[in-house]
Structures are given as structure tokens and as C-alpha cells.
Amino acid sequence: MLKRLFSFSGPRLATKLFIIMSLTMVVIPWFSYLYLREMEAFLIDSQANAQRLTAEGISTLLNGRTDLFHELPLSPDGYDQLYAHPLESPVRIDGKDNDWEDILDFDLQFGEEPEQTEAGTQFYLLLGEHNELVYVLARVIDDQLVFRDSTILRLDVSDHLRLNYTDALDQNRKMVITMPAPGVTTAYDIDDEWRYATQSGADNRVQGFVSETSDGYIAEFRFPLAMLGSTRQFGLAVVDVDDAVERSIESITSTLPSAGHEAYGLVLLKSPEVLKIIQGLGYSGANIQVIDTSKRVRAEVGSYDAATTLEPNNEDASAIDRFLSLTSGPVDAIFSAMVARDIDFNPLAADQVISTSLEGTPNHQLRFTQQEGEVIIAAHPIIAQDDTIGTVVLTQNTERILELRRDALGRIVNFSVLALFIFVALVMAFSVTLARRIRKLGTETTDAIDAYGRLKTNRIYSETESGDEIGDLARNISNMLSRLHQHNQFLENMPRTLRHEINNPLNALSTSLQNLASEEQPDHRAKYLDSAQRAVLRIGMIVQNLADAASLEEALEADDFEVIDLRELVNNYLNNCRVLHPKAHFEYRGTHKRVLSAVSDYRIEQLLDKLIDNAVDFSVPGTTITVGLTTDANELTLFVTNEGPTIPREELDNIFDSMVSVRQNNPDNRLHFGMGLYVVRVIAEHHGGQVSAVNLLNRRGVTVRVTLSLYREQTEELMAAI
């Protein structure tokens, strides 16, 4: 019971096929992913080279234009650089950002995210310049607005903006912009404590407007560029008051300088002439900057922010597309995991590229930040009289490459998923069909033998018509059962046959011995002794036939082959046959040339013994027994033909099997165990040949053919003669 249990403990055929082929299927997406990685690196390198070439083309337009790069009175080092972008038309002061659409992407962020700090206000600042007027747009994030109470003289007890600047006399000045309500703002010069106005009236040079938003407010105002003086030092602070009763200041967020200059930034005007040159060269997903030797941005167009991806229209998608779209979520997760970085990669790439380019060497670098994503920065110097006067910096995102990679990865995943479904279905169908065929074959094979080991049938029918390996197995099993069935039939008939055949000589022997014991005359005693001896010889012949068939194959292994002339051997053998069988008529037909073959002459004679015995026993009296030899290019054929009973058609295939006999009418009542032709087949196969039997077409009789190989030298002679 335990043996039977453990014999079925291994994995089934379907499981083995599924595991092996599933592991193979993993290789396809893995190598596809490695190919995508290589392709992505190639595309990024190609894009970087294209950006460098574009930057070189733009710099060619600016080479030698020293008039476009005049120096400012102050160096920008140590200041926040507040760029006033050139405006094509004046901005309407209405507290809205619709007039700033062309340059909204260049706004500057100050302060921290509200959820990252308990105190403080975040705001976004954008400056523009048109006709010597500076326009300011400040978008403030504030969850609680407190407007100015006109009955209170102090100006620092409500939400307001503070301005620090140097005037035409290079004196530090302070100003606040107050907001009585959504609408027009009022500007006042303020004392050093930022509390009270120093003049009785408002400063009409600063005109502004405030509008509320869902997360705070937008303050928009303008003032003359001349108000800042020649140094253009300027600072802006947003003051937040949240409690309308206590009116205490919660936070002050300002445009802090990078180092050393309290409350000041530097307003830098971009060069309109340079902007006009590069304005038509921008394209989607790219930012172009022209920077002078002081690293000031003189002109800038375009933005490298990732474009918004349009959602696919699932209404027009096919059923397969809708099915495959289910994998978009996992694909995005996989892709995000592959491209995600815990820290920023090369965040100082822009400074390094600009510095190297200003030294006269074009270069590019890849940068990744959590806010901007992955971008390529390329720069090419601007040359005038062998000196570098600036550089063109082209920054472009790799969103298109990442999108191509994402789409390719999606296709690979979709293909793999779909292929896996199809593969699993095919493997399961194939394995189920294969297992069913094997079970059916196994069941029929098992049922062919009963509980006592006896065969119930001589063949099986399942899968014998199939052309695959299972069909070959089924046919082999069927042939095996057929031979076993014949052997079993012989064994079942053997006791009755032996009893009949041995009883006859035993009876003759017994009778002869009884007569011999009672007979007193010498002449009669000799007759009885001769009869007894014939009976003993007949019993010995029966035993010898069985022993020869059993030991033949072992005896053949000890035989040595030699090259002999079979034509001469056959002729000598026929001469002996004419002496041994004087009543039979023998005739030789075939070639009269030498027929050389490497054989055992004794075994060939033994083979002829069996063939001639069959021919003599079963030929019609008075007919001729024909023995012959024929040859072709590589083989010889030894044949024996006799006229007489034919072999039933259904027995032609197994007449040479062991213990098969189909001729029942023996004229001399001799015993035939079906061993003669079996011995012929074994000897022929031992010599590398074949044996076959055919019925004569025009007359009753049988021809047995034995095909053997010719000796190589004779084969070469025959080929040369041909």
C-alpha cells in the first residue's frame, strides 16, 4: 500500500509542463526589459547630442554680439536674482494672472509647503517689465485672510506686503502695500519699525489690486523702474495675520538674498534683443536660456515641464484593448518603481554645465529631481573675439523617452500576460489530452491481462493509428501482446502436442519391448529392437529440436565469420540434397559468378537445412524445388521455392516467429513445432540480413528469401562494372 502511495507522489505531467514552460516564458520579458534599458540609454544620449547641436546653432546667432551682454552696476553674487521678464504689452492691474500666461512658468517660489511647517506663508512671485514699468504678480497661499481696519493707524496688524528697495540716491527705503478689502491696494512709506506711515498720504507710484482665491489671494501691482535706482535692489515680504481680534503677526516670508544683503534681491532685466532672437527657436518640453559670464539669465523661452498626458478614449477601444488596459495600473507601478530615486540625482548639474560652458567647453549632463523629474541640460558657449561672453543653455525633459519606455514596457507586459494566458490554455489542453491518451492506453494495456497473468487479447486498439511517440508505443505494445499471445497459445497447446507426439513413440517402444520380452526367435527379436530404436530416436529428435531453438542465439555469439563463395556452397549443398532426398527434384537458378560474403558457412548450411526440410516436406510430389542466388549492387538474395500449400495472408508477417506453425497437413505425420523458420530468421539477422516469405502468384507454392550483404570488394567490382 505504501509503495503504491509513494509511486503517485510526484508532480503530474501538466504541472511539469507548466513549470518548465513558465520559467522559459520569464526569459522573454526579462530580455525585453534589458533591451529597453539599452534603448533608453541610446535615446537619452541621442537627445543630449541633439540638444548640444541645437544650443550650438543658437549660440552661432549670438557669437560676436557683445552689445547684447552689457554689464550691470552690481554683481549678482550674494543676491537673489529676481528677473523682470520683458512683456510685449502692459499688464492690466486686476488681481488676475491671465495677462501673465506666457511667462507663468518662470515664477519663483518662496516659503515652505503649509503642511511642512507650523508657521510661515508660501507665495509665488513673478516680475515683468514694459516701458520702464515693473509689474509684480504675487500669488499667496493663506488659509485665513485679515484685511486692514481703516480705523487703526498701525499698518502691521493685517495681511500686507512689505517692499525694501534702494532709491535713485542709493538710500534704503521701506514701503507697505495694504489691503482694506478685495480690490484696489494702497501703498505707504513706512518707518523702520514697519508700524506707521511716515507721510500723510499714499504713494501713488505703486498701483495695485488684490483678489481672493480658494487658497489665499493674488496681489498684482506695478511701479516705475526708476524708483529702484541704478542698483535695482529690491525685496518683497509677505506678512500673515490670521486672528482678526488679536491681529498679531503669525509669519513673515520674504525674498531672502542668498548671503549678506539683508532683505534685498536684485532685479535683473532680461535683454529684449536677445529674447527676440531666441523666441522663435523654442519648442515643447524645452527651456532655452541665454546666460552671461556673471551667470545672469539675459533671455529665456519655453518650459521643460512634462506635458499633460491625455487619457485614452476607452469608448472606441476594442475588447482586447480594454482587456489589456487593465494592466496599465500594474505597469505604471512597475515603471514608477524602476525610475524612482530616493534622493535627487546630480541636482547641481545645471551649475556644473553652465560653469564648464562659460570656460569654453560645450557639455551636457542628466539631472533628476523629485520636483522636475528627469531632464537633460546641454550648454554651448557664445564666443566673441576668442573670448566667452555667455552661454546658451538648453534644458529638456526626457518625458517622451520615458513615455516610449513606459509604452514599450506596457506592450511587453500585455504581450506576456496575453501569451501566458494562451500558453497556459494550450499547455493545459495539450497535457490533459496527452494524459487522457496515456491513461486510456494504460487502462487497455492493463486490461489485456487478467488477475492470473493470462492474456485476454492479442492486441490493443487505443492510439495504434496515431503517428506520434504514443502511437509508436501503442503499436509496440500491441506487437508485444501479439507475440506473447502466440507464445501463450503454443505453451497451452504444447502439453497436448507433446503428449500426442511422445505417446506414439512411447507406445511403439512399449509394444516393441513387450514383444521383445515374449519373443524367442532371433529374427523377430531383431525386428522389435529396430522398432524400439526408431521410437527412441524420434523422442530424442523432439527433445533436440526444442534444445536447438533454446540455445541457438547463445551459440551464434561464438561463431567466426569468413569470406566464402556462396554460389559454390549452394551448389555443393544441392549435390548433397540430391543424395539425401532421392525422390525430390532440385534445380539451381541465378548467377553463375562468384558471390562473396562474410558468413559462418556452418550456419548457412543450417539455414539451408531448415529451408530445404520445409520445401521437401510441403512440396507436391513430382514438382521441382528451386534454390537460387541473385545479386545487386550491395546485397545478395538466397531463395528457396517449392510448389505446394500457400501461407495464409494473415500469417505472412509472423511465420518466422518462435513456435509458429501454420501447415497442419504433414504427409508423414512428422512433428513441427514452428522452430524451423524461426531458426532461419535468427541466423539471417545474426549475419545482418533479413528474411521474408511470399506466396507464388501464378501457381500454388511459397518462396522464402534470405537477403545478406555482399563482401565489400565484390561490391566495388559490381559498382565499377555498372
In tens, the pLDDT along 89-105 reads: 889 999 998 888 878 87
Question: Which whole number is the average pLDDT over 224-235?
Answer: 84
Would you state the pLDDT for residue 589? 92
As given in the structure block, the three cell numbers for residue 391 are: 552661454
Cα–Cα dist 138/544, whole Å? 123
The answer, yes or no, to whether residue 475 has pLDDT greater than 70, is: yes
Question: Which whole number is the average pLDDT over 116-123?
Answer: 65
Would you state the pLDDT for residue 212? 93
Please tell me the pTM assigned to this model.
Answer: 0.43
Beta bridge partners of 535: none
Would you state the pLDDT for residue 670? 47
184-188, 265-269, 458-462: which is most confident:
184-188
The answer, yes or no, to whether residue 508 has pLDDT greater than 80, is: no
As given in the structure block, the three cell numbers for residue 51 are: 540638444
Would you state the pLDDT for residue 519? 63
Q: What are phi and psi of 603, to 5 degrees?
A: -70, -35
Question: Which whole number is the average pLDDT over 110-116?
Answer: 67
162-176, 309-323, 462-476, 536-550: which is most confident:
162-176
pLDDT confidence tier of residue 476, bands split at 50, 70 and 90? confident
Least confident of 47-56, 73-82, 209-218, 321-330: 321-330
Which helix (H) or strand (E) element contains residue 212?
Answer: strand 207-213
Average pLDDT score over the chain:
78
Least confident of 118-122, 519-523, 640-644: 519-523
Cα–Cα dist 317/514, whole Å? 109
- Contact yes or no for 440/463 (Cβ under 8 A): yes
Beta bridge partners of 394: 288, 378
271-285, 326-340, 365-379, 557-571: which is most confident:
557-571
Would you state the pLDDT for residue 311? 46
pLDDT confidence tier of residue 136, bands split at 50, 70 and 90? very high
Least confident of 75-79, 298-302, 482-486, 671-675: 671-675
Helix, strand, coil % in the chain, rounded to nearest 5: 40, 25, 35
Which residues contact residue 19 at a Cβ distance below 8 angstroms, ignoring those fewer than 6 apart?
Answer: 11
Would you state the pLDDT for residue 674? 61
The answer, yes or no, to whether residue 315 has pLDDT greater than 90, is: no
The answer, yes or no, to whether residue 268 has pLDDT greater than 90, is: no
Q: pLDDT (tens digit, 9 = 90+) per residue, 629-651?
A: 999 888 999 999 998 888 888 77
User: Between 223 and 544, whose confidence is greater?
Assistant: 223
Would you state the pLDDT for residue 663? 52
173-177, 314-318, 393-397: which is most confident:
173-177
Cα–Cα dist 374/403, whole Å? 12
A 10 A CB-CB count for 30 gives: 12
Cα–Cα dist 92/135, whole Å? 10
As given in the structure block, the three cell numbers for residue 590 are: 541465378
**What's the one-letter identity of residue 553?**
E
- Using alpha carbons, list the distances in angstroms from residue 709 to 562, 631, 715: 13, 9, 9
Domains of the chain: 80-269 (2.60.40.1190), 559-721 (3.30.565.10)
Would you state the pLDDT for residue 721? 60
Least confident of 58-72, 527-541, 675-689, 694-708: 527-541
Cα–Cα dist 676/659, whole Å? 9
Q: What are phi and psi of 97, to 5 degrees?
A: -105, 15
Q: Which residue has the cell 489671494?
A: 217
**What's the one-letter identity of residue 632?**
D
Beta bridge partners of 587: 626
- Contact yes or no for 684/704 (Cβ under 8 A): no
Would you state the pLDDT for residue 73? 56
Beta bridge partners of 80: 265
Buried b (16+ CB within 10 A) or exposed e, 79-90: bbbbbbbbbeee
User: Between 667 and 632, whose confidence is greater?
Assistant: 632
Cα–Cα dist 297/299, whole Å? 6
User: Between 683 and 39, whose confidence is greater?
Assistant: 683
The answer, yes or no, to whether residue 241 has pLDDT greater than 70, is: yes
